[in-house]
Amino acid sequence: MPRSLQPGCLPVSEEMLDKVQEAVGSAKDRNFVESIELAINLKDIDMNLPKNRIDEEVRLPNGRGKAVKVCIFGSDELAVKARDVADLVVLPEQIEDLADEKKRVKVMADSHEFFLAETPLMPTIGKRLGIVLGPRGKMPKPIPPGADPKPLVDSLRTTVRIRTKDKLTFHVPVGTKSMPPEQIVENIDVIMKRIEGRLERGRMNIRSVYLKTTMGPSVRII
């Protein structure tokens, strides 16, 4: 029977809760907070066809359980507002400098989960930095000049991206080891519903799903 043990949590299944507790409990204590992720294996679907690939952003009901870095490309008023909410602000005149330092752009792309950019800067970013940001799925989302970036940044900090590319196996973060198991189950439920909704045959296109902490053993949940 479904149950809810934490205030504010929706009812969760006993079986999934047990699986999450098993994955967390079987992982050794580390000197850092481990992330928890799903490893999803698909079947009977041709991932060479772009239409079958998944590229979705999902806002988790209980957040990521860890800091998610956001970078904003902006000028004038937007840049001023972004300094209070973003982890990194890139001014228009800095874009050309970055274009000449591909290694620096790669580090920036790998260390920031999401990017936003003032709408007029999008063509320049695409031309000068797209070769690095594009393949990583990190091209910025446009934001109007002078807009308040805080609501969008706050939303992105609780968001995960599901991106399959051309592989049948992919990974999605669902939280951290320090989060209550019930919250992790809720996050898993939202992610799995989104994935099943994108697959031609829904659950029938899923071969298996495993749950694991960063350095812990895998536990099969589907």
9 Cβ contact list (under 8 Å, min separation 6): 180, 182, 183, 186
CATH class of 14-65+159-220: alpha beta
**SS3 at position 205:** helix
Residue 159's beta-bridge partner residues?
59
pLDDT in tens for each of the 222 residues of the chain?
Answer: 344 444 434 445 788 999 999 998 888 888 888 999 999 999 999 999 999 999 999 999 999 999 899 999 999 899 999 999 999 999 999 999 999 999 999 999 999 999 999 999 999 999 999 999 999 999 999 999 889 999 999 999 999 999 998 899 999 999 999 999 999 999 999 999 999 999 999 999 999 999 999 888 999 998
Confidence (pTM): 0.86
Q: Where in the chain is the domain with CATH 3.40.50.790?
A: 70-156
Which helix (DSSP H) or strand (DSSP E) does residue 175 occupy? Answer: strand 169-176
Give me the pLDDT at residue 30, please. Answer: 84
Query: What distances in angstroms separate CA 105 from CA 99, 112, 115, 128, 185, one per listed residue?
Result: 8, 11, 12, 11, 35
Any idea which architecture 70-156 has in CATH?
3-Layer(aba) Sandwich (3.40)
Name 103's Cβ contacts closer than 8 Å, sequence gap at least 6.
none
pLDDT digits (tens, 9 = 90+) for 94-105: 999 999 999 999
Domain limits, CATH 3.30.190.20, in the chain: 14-65+159-220
Q: DSSP for 89-155?
A: EE-HHHHHHHHT-HHHHHHHHHH-SEEEEEGGGHHHHHHHHHHHHTTTT-PPEEE-TT---HHHHHH
| DSSP character at residue 30 | -
